[in-house]
Amino acid sequence: MSAEYDFKSFLLIKVVRSFVMVFIILTIGFLLIHLAPGDPIEFILGGAGFYTPEFIASVRERFGLDKPIHEKFVIYVLNFLRGELGYSYVFGLPVVEVIAARVPPTLLLMGTQLVLVIVVGSLLGILAASRPHSKLDYLVSSLSVAGISMPIFWLGLLLIFLFSVSLGLFPAQGMTSLRVTGWWEGFLDLLSHLFLPTLTLFLINLGLVTRTVRTSMLEALRSEFVVAARAKGLPERRVLFRHAFRNSLTPLITLIGLQLGWLLSGAVIVETVFAWPGMGRLLFTSIGSRDYPVVMGIFLLVSTAVVVSNLITELLYAYVDPRIRRAK
């Protein structure tokens, strides 16, 4: 007999599990800092040479680096909970502040792209699945697999070459131009900067979403309740959306929710290619300048975000499927 839980326990388990996950991620971070070659103080301060010995000593004390390892760990966790992740060596500011400034651009890029990808990808997937083995289906499927196989940085370069260099339509670098007056012009300027990085991510992820939706739609369309819905004389559009698509949502939610880490890694590369001032670019430049505290901070933040998105995914499953929600 498989274990079935009632919904409250189900929720509780998921929340507890998320806390455990965050704890484990912290442990991994802690281990990495302490296993990596070099003095851990560098991970907190960056190059130690810029600070007076007194200051270094005080930081050592503050982060408990003079203490035994288990106490170090406790202090490390408590610091994390207070949002203290050390200081950026490059910016001389607390890591949290440095990262926080870079979150909005990343969210803007990811958000725009995700909305577009989910809408367009779902529609294409449904369309392809509703006419399996048609020319349209082959076209959509081929484009999907091509999209998935495209190295994201290479696609970015091609798009820059096409839209920026050859056609001169969109800027290839940055998020804003220097000389822009008025909020409307500013908005248009932002949009034109947003276009290429969004398009790159969109094209890459579109294949992923389309494929997922197509596969799960094909499966849903084969199920017997779809036959029953057709037998009721429902219009095909209603059969597709209300009956089949709703039942094929789970894999799509899984893709977006559980693959957030994967989607974000695309963002790192795209932000680097297009000099988009987000978290990904920060991560890249920080690795280049050996700004370890920032690197670790971004890792912890992204990991926590992934855990949270996993939790939200589980809740969405329950929202979509009454069998989970109403398990008596």
Partner 1 sequence: MNDAVLRVEGLSTYYYTDKGVVRAVDGVDLVVGENEVVGVVGESGCGKSTLAASVMRLLQPPAKIVKGSIFFRNVNLLELPEEEMRKIRGKKISMIFQNPASYLNPLLTVEEQMVESMTLHLRISKQEAASRAVNILEKLGISAPDTVIKYYPHQLSGGMKQRVMIGMAISCNPELVLADEPTTALDPTIQVQILEQLLELRKNLGLSMVVITHDLGVAKAICDKIYVMYAGKIVEEGKVGDVFNRPLHPYTYGLLESALSVYEKDRPAKFIDGAPPKLVEEIKGCYFANRCFNKVDRCLIEYPHPSFKNGRKVYCWNPVGD
Partner 2 sequence: MVREFWLRFRRNRAAVFGVLTLAALSLFSLFAIAFSRYGPFELAADPFKPPSLQHPFGTDDLGRDIFVQSAYGLAITLMVGAATAVLGGLIGIIVGSVSGYFRGALANATTAIIEIFQSLPLFFLVLVIISFFGSSITNTILALGLTLWASTARIQRGQVMTVKNLTFVEMSKLVGEKEYNILIREILPNSVQPSIVNIAYTASIAIVVESGLAFLGLGDPRMMSLGFIIGNARLFFFQAWWMGLLPGILLFLTILSLNLVSDGLNEVLNPRRS
Partner 3 sequence: MSLLKVEDVFKLFPVRPDIFGRAKKFVHAVDGVSFSVEEGEIFGVIGESGCGKTTLARLIVGLIDYDRGSIKIKGEEVSEVKRLDVERFRRTVQMVPQDPVMAFNPRKTIKHFLTRPLLLHGGLGREEAVSRAHQLLEEVSLTPADFFLDRYPHELSVGQRQRVLIARALSLNPDLLVADEPVSYLDVSVRGQIINLLKEVHKKRRITVLLISHDLSVVYHLCSRIAVMYLGKVVEILDARDLFSKSLHPYTQALVSSFSVGFGISRGERIVLKGEVPSPIEPPSGCRFHPRCSFATDVCRKLEPKPLFSDGRLVACHLYDRL
Out of 19, 225, 241, 262, which residue is the one contacting partner 1 (CB under 8 A)? 225
CB 146 within 8 A of CB 208: no
Q: Out of 229, 240, 255, 270, which residue is the one contacting partner 1 (CB under 8 A)?
A: 229
Q: Are 318 and 7 in contact (CB under 8 A)?
A: yes
Binding site for partner 2 (CB under 8 A): 17, 21, 24-25, 28, 32-33, 36-37, 145-146, 148-154, 157-158, 160-161, 165, 219, 258, 260-262, 264-265, 268-269, 272-273, 283-284, 287-288, 290, 292, 295-296, 298-299, 302-303, 306-307, 310
Query: Which residues in 239-276 are b (16+ Cβ under 10 Å) and which e?
Result: bbeebbbebbbbbbbbbbbebbeebbebbbbbbbbbeb
Chain centroid to CA 72: 31
**Residue 129 contact partner, candidates partner 3, partner 2, partner 1, none, CB within 5 to 8 A by sort of partner:** none
How many residues belong to the site for partner 1 (CB under 8 A)? 25
CB 300 within 8 A of CB 85: yes
| CB-based contacts of 250, cutoff 8 Å, min separation 6 | 216, 317, 320, 321
- Interface residue with partner 1, options 20, 28, 145, 228 (CB under 8 A): 228
Could you tell me which residues come within 8 angstroms of residue 292 by beta carbon, excluding any fewer than 6 positions away?
Answer: 33, 42, 43, 46, 89, 286
By the rule CB under 8 A, 135 interacts with partner 1: no
Stretch that binds partner 3, among 6-14, 187-195, 222-230, 258-266 (CB under 8 A): 6-14
> Tokens 């309740």, residue?
225
Closest alpha carbon to 41 in 31, 30, 33: 33
Q: Which of residues 12-41 bind partner 3 (CB under 8 A)?
A: 12-13, 16
Strand partners, 94: 87
Whose Cβ is closer to partner 2: residue 117's or residue 159's?
Answer: 159
The reply to whether 131 sits near partner 1 by the rule CB under 8 A is no
- When binding is defined by CB under 8 A, the residue of 41, 143, 157, 234 that contacts partner 1 is 234
Determine contact, residues 290/46, Cβ cutoff 8 Å: yes
Q: Which of 34, 62, 237, 326 binds partner 1 (CB under 8 A)?
A: 326
Binding site for partner 1 (CB under 8 A): 133, 222-225, 227-235, 238, 242-243, 246-247, 320-323, 326, 328
